[in-house]
């Protein structure tokens, strides 16, 4: 059983990762910590809490950082907004056109940093973090509690970056671009890292026939996922926006499902100073610019059948509740 905290900026594809995690028989979801990213924290935190409660899960949901360490999130988001003909990638609230019922319950009494620290101690070196938004909360936690770097976190799997290209600038992926300084702190932490970047997530679109299969499952959980997928298909078909890409669910799968992605260890760092290249993840492959040892396992290929079987399997579990 993987003891996991998901740190997220929910977010359409974040929401699908949450539904999968809540239902997975292999995951003990210790907490959900939330951060600004796709939309502001005033949406990402309630989206996460309302989603969990709507599906009947009492998991801790903690609020985290409202802003990146240095960057202006709103400017970064504007770089992304044009991509779908003016439609924000995740809609105005982060959930596309899905409206979650207000649960009226409070957030966990501790903030994201304190929650990570609490769970790291409780899990005795077994805690894994799956970070699918900007890495702000994780960086804050490592700065406030440096002992986290001394064996208290087993692994951080993050959705972010790319060895090649970007989706928000030509060379930068959205999560890393939002908070490159935070990403650098994480990449230099010495904690075992798994990077699930655009190299694999841009190949991870849910086929239309699987969208229908998921809807037919008929549970609240599956219907929610199907509704989010319908928004993504509308975004693709009517606005020329992003496809049904499972960026964040693939990062979660990579943490718990052997073989869903394959890759190699590389030295990875983030460009924080470049005028046009900030947010770029430098993945040292053939052209060696430093002698630095590998610090990150980077996913390079994805087995989509394996991923879709896993995602549908998680959703099937919701029939048993
Ligand atoms: C990442 O940015 C967000 O739009 C998604 O939720 C994902 O985490 C992809 O670049
Ligand atoms: Ca995300």
Q: Please provide the average confidence, as pLDDT, over all residues in the chain.
A: 96
CATH of the domain at 238: 3.90.245.10
Measured in whole angstroms, the distance separating CA 118 from the mean position of its chain's CA atoms is: 21
Measured in whole angstroms, the distance separating CA 93 from the mean position of its chain's CA atoms is: 17
pLDDT higher than 60, residue 132: yes
Average of per-residue pLDDT across 64-74: 95
Tell me what pLDDT residue 306 has.
98
Residue 11 CA: which ligand 1 atom is closest?
A: 6
Tell me what pLDDT residue 107 has.
98
Tell me what pLDDT residue 249 has.
98
Give the start-end residues of each E strand in 90-208: 127-131, 153-159, 193-196
pLDDT higher than 80, residue 297: yes
Hey, is 144 helix, strand or coil? helix
Residue nearest to atom 4 of ligand 1 (CA): 38
What are the residue numbers of the active site?
A: 247
- Which bound ligand lies closest to the C-alpha atom of 247? 1
Whether omega before 194 lies within 30 degrees of 0, making that bond cis, reads no
> Separation of 212 CA from ligand 2 center, angstroms?
24
Q: Report the sign of the C-alpha dihedral through residues 245, 53, 59, 313, in that order.
A: negative
> What's the pLDDT band for 167 if we cut at 50, 70, 90?
very high
pLDDT higher than 60, residue 82: no
Tell me what pLDDT residue 85 has.
65
How far apart are the C-alpha atoms of 220 and 21, rounded to whole Å?
15
Domain tally, the chain? 1
The domain in which residue 76 lies consists of 2-320
- Which bound ligand lies closest to the C-alpha atom of 250? 1
How far apart are the C-alpha atoms of 15 and 244, rounded to whole Å?
13
Q: Are strands 127-131 and 60-63 parallel, antiparallel or unpaired?
A: unpaired
> Separation of 287 CA from ligand 2 center, angstroms?
30
Residue 248 CA: which ligand 1 atom is closest?
A: 8
Backbone angles phi, psi at 32, to 5 degrees: -115, 125
Q: Which of 248, 253, 280, 299 to mutate to test the pocket of ligand 1 (most atoms within 8 A of CB)?
A: 248
How far apart are the C-alpha atoms of 197 and 216, rounded to whole Å?
31
User: Left if phi > 0, otherwise alpha if psi is -120 to 50, otherwise beta: which for 91?
Assistant: left
């Amino acid at each position: 059983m993987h003891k996991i905290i998901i740190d997220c900026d929910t977010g359409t594809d974040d929401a699908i990762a949450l539904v999968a995690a809540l239902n997975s028989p292999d995951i003990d979801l210790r907490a959900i910590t939330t951060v600004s990213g796709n939309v502001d924290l005033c949406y990402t935190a309630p989206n996460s809490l309302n989603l969990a409660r709507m599906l009947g899960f009492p998991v801790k949901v903690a609020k985290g950082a409202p802003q990146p360490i240095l960057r202006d999130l709103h400017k970064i988001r504007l770089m992304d907004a044009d991509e779908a003909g003016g439609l924000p990638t995740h809609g105005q609230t982060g959930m596309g056109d899905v409206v979650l019922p207000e649960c009226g319950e409070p957030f966990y009494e501790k903030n994201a940093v304190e929650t990570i620290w609490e769970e790291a101690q409780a899990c005795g070196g077994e805690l894994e973090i799956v970070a699918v938004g900007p890495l702000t909360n994780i960086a804050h936690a490592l700065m406030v509690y440096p002992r986290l770097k001394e064996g208290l976190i087993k692994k951080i799997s993050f959705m972010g970056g790319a060895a090649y290209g970007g989706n928000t600038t030509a060379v930068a992926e959205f999560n890393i671009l939002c908070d490159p300084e935070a990403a650098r702190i994480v990449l230099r932490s010495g904690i075992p890292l798994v990077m699930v970047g655009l190299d694999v997530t841009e190949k991870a679109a849910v086929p239309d026939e699987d969208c229908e299969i998921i809807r037919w499952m008929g549970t609240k959980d599956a219907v929610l996922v199907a509704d989010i997928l319908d928004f993504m298909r509308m975004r693709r078909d009517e606005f020329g926006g992003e496809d049904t890409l499972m960026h964040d669910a693939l990062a979660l799968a990579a943490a718990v499902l052997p073989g869903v992605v394959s890759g190699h260890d590389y030295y990875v760092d983030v460009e924080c100073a470049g005028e046009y290249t900030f947010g770029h993840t430098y993945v040292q492959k053939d052209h060696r610019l430093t002698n630095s040892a590998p610090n990150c396992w980077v996913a390079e290929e994805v087995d989509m059948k394996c991923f879709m079987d896993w995602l549908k399997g998680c959703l099937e579990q919701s029939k048993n509740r």
